Amino acid sequence: MALETDFIIIGSGIAGLRAAVEIARGGARVTVLTKDRTSESNTEYAQGGVAVALSDDDKVSLHEEDTLQAGAGLCDEEAVRVLVEDGRRYIEELIEWGTEFDREGGRLVFTQEAAHSRRRILHAHGDSTGKEIVRALIKRAGAEKNIAFLPHAATESLVVEDGRCCGVRYLDPLLRAPRALRARAIVLASGGAGQLFLHTTNPQVATGDGMAMAFLAGAELADMEFVQFHPTALNLADAPRFLLSEAMRGEGGVLLNAAGERFMPRYHERAELAPRDIVSRAIVAEMARTATASVYLDMTDFDRRFLHRRFPKIYETCLRFNLDLAREPAPVSPAAHYCMGGVRTDIQGRTTLKGLYAAGEVACTGVHGANRLASNSLLEGLVFGARAGSAAVKECGAGADVSVSRKEIELEESERAQEDDRRSKGEVALAVRKRVRRLMWERVGIIRTRESMERALFEFNQIARAPLRPASRNFLTVATIVTRSALWREESRGGHFRSDFPERDDEHWQVHSIVKKDSEISSSEKLDFAS
């Protein structure tokens, strides 16, 4: 028998937690499902900080202008305006809830990051901003007695009846068997899909399940070709692909090639502070030119005390691998970092599927366009998590007519359990993931071509013939959609670069890609379908 709640949140990063608090304020029951522990999400790993126009020399209009500039002509202007204007209020609310951003003399400290015209980045404990925000939000959510957390419960699919999303199927964390949970509405806040690529800064949970589940349930996805590769991930043989924050270059760190030469001024007038896609491609070009696997981030002009105070987590992590940033440059190379595309939403977090809302990296609001401005992601999760929660309560709260058939869900759950049992012996999950990740990195990575992507799609189609469990099916689905979208867009823009179409083409391609199940890719001049 299916369990029931009022609202389901999938994911416990900044967007999911903020949506949960917003919904629970009205007294509704909220169940938060997480694939791992409650605090495990991309938010927890966010180092650089959160961008907000709160300093004395900053303006909302400047933050808006910088965001639009970074987005390479594809930002939704209304969504950006909501982000930068409402962001101030929601950050101040976070502070009221106990978030401890770094201060000096009682005043908030703002730092610089690439493509920002002002020092507007708030950080916490140096380079542990996301972790601090998650701590404060979990504590705030814990004060709401009607929020229940269900960790280690991987959501596998959405339940849809009569064109409306009315529940989820998930793996019971104790029985490891599929179960169903019904609700009046679902808020998808499951994060991104960085794990699609062989080299990524993302945690293991960032596998794109939310995007795949929404797509398979009938919701539209948008701009899936735009993937941001962070320029500076630690590249040591025995170390994880640990992110070396954008803020390190913002503070004055420089990039050197294998010969010890600074090279970024040759590629862009803003040098190390150029947009991330430009820095990433410059690094790839420099590694190819010098026949090396790394470039080097040099912070040796700063003393040990400054580095330890400003970047404590980064500094200590590097030390564990016998790398002292105060004495020697760190070998770095790009890694997959952030998905600008996702489930298509309006500025209230509504998707194109009734009863389903989305916020954070899983969603595509149009805020980031073709290339996310550094440190806008936490702000987006906060602002649009709150808006999605608010819209869900208003439209699906007490008194709303959202009735669905219970019997059909229960029958589907039973059939799903039998299907999984039939497929279990043929599971090739690990092999599928390894092969897909390598194909995505080598053929749909920082530099793409028609030939490379067509080859990837051919292999994905071969893999799809094997019996796959839901997690593997979701993983392959998202990889295929990213590749199809990148093949469709015959230009280079923001995070999407094709060497066979190296120029930006506003005349033909200043449009969003829209993907829907059982349909060809289409284009739309606007992302907000409700406006």
Tokens of 491: 């230009």
3-state SS assignment for residue 419: helix
Please give the Cα distance from 167 to 353 (Å, whole number): 13
**What torsion do the CA atoms of 485, 487, 489, 493 make, to the nearest 10 degrees?**
90
Tokens of 437: 């990740």
Q: What is the pLDDT of residue 414?
A: 46
Tokens of 322: 């016998």
Q: What is the pLDDT of residue 103?
A: 95
Please give the Cα distance from 336 to 360 (Å, whole number): 17
Please give the Cα distance from 434 to 512 (Å, whole number): 30
Q: What is the pLDDT of residue 276?
A: 85
Please give the Cα distance from 459 to 457 (Å, whole number): 5
**Helix 450-463, helix 429-443: angle, nearest 10:** 170
* Residue numbers annotated as active site: 276
Instruction: Provide the 8-state DSSP code for 163.
Output: T
Please give the Cα distance from 69 to 50 (Å, whole number): 18
Please give the Cα distance from 243 to 200 (Å, whole number): 9
Of the candidates 317, 113, 319, the residue with the CA atom closest to the CA atom of residue 231: 113
Please give the Cα distance from 124 to 142 (Å, whole number): 21
Please give the Cα distance from 413 to 407 (Å, whole number): 10
Q: What is the pLDDT of residue 26?
A: 87
Sequential pLDDT tens for the chain (531 residues):
578 999 999 999 999 999 999 999 989 999 999 988 776 655 555 566 899 999 999 999 999 999 999 999 999 999 999 999 999 999 999 999 999 999 999 999 998 887 899 999 999 987 788 889 999 999 999 999 999 999 999 999 999 999 999 999 999 888 878 899 999 999 999 999 999 999 999 988 899 999 999 999 999 999 999 999 999 999 998 888 889 988 899 899 999 999 999 999 999 999 998 888 899 999 999 999 999 999 999 999 999 999 999 999 999 999 999 999 999 999 999 999 999 999 999 999 999 999 999 999 999 999 999 999 989 999 999 999 999 999 999 999 876 666 655 544 553 444 454 445 444 434 568 889 999 999 999 999 999 999 999 999 999 999 999 889 889 999 999 999 999 999 999 999 999 999 999 999 999 999 999 999 999 999 999 998 875
Tokens of 480: 């295929």
Please give the Cα distance from 34 to 32 (Å, whole number): 7
Q: What is the pLDDT of residue 394?
A: 96
Of the candidates 133, 138, 197, 96, the residue with the CA atom closest to the CA atom of residue 375: 133
Q: What is the pLDDT of residue 224?
A: 98
Positive or negative: CA dihedral 372, 377, 381, 384: negative
Tokens of 101: 């951003």
3-state secondary structure 218-232: CCCEECCCCEEEEEE
Please give the Cα distance from 478 to 496 (Å, whole number): 16
Alpha helices in 426-495 (DSSP H): 429-443, 450-463, 470-488
Q: Are strands 185-188 and 7-10 parallel, antiparallel or unpaired?
A: parallel
Of the candidates 15, 16, 23, 351, the residue with the CA atom closest to the CA atom of residue 160: 351
Of the candidates 347, 342, 339, 346, the residue with the CA atom closest to the CA atom of residue 86: 347
Backbone angles phi, psi at 523, to 5 degrees: -120, 155
Backbone angles phi, psi at 79, to 5 degrees: -65, -40
Residue-range domains of the chain with CATH:
231-334 (3.90.700.10), 419-505 (1.20.58.100)
Q: What is the pLDDT of residue 97?
A: 97
Please give the Cα distance from 456 to 486 (Å, whole number): 12
108: which strand partners? 103
Alpha helices in 206-357 (DSSP H): 209-217, 246-250, 276-290, 304-310, 312-320
| Residue at 78: amino acid letter | E
Instruction: Provide the 8-state DSSP code for 118.
Output: S
Please give the Cα distance from 196 to 187 (Å, whole number): 23
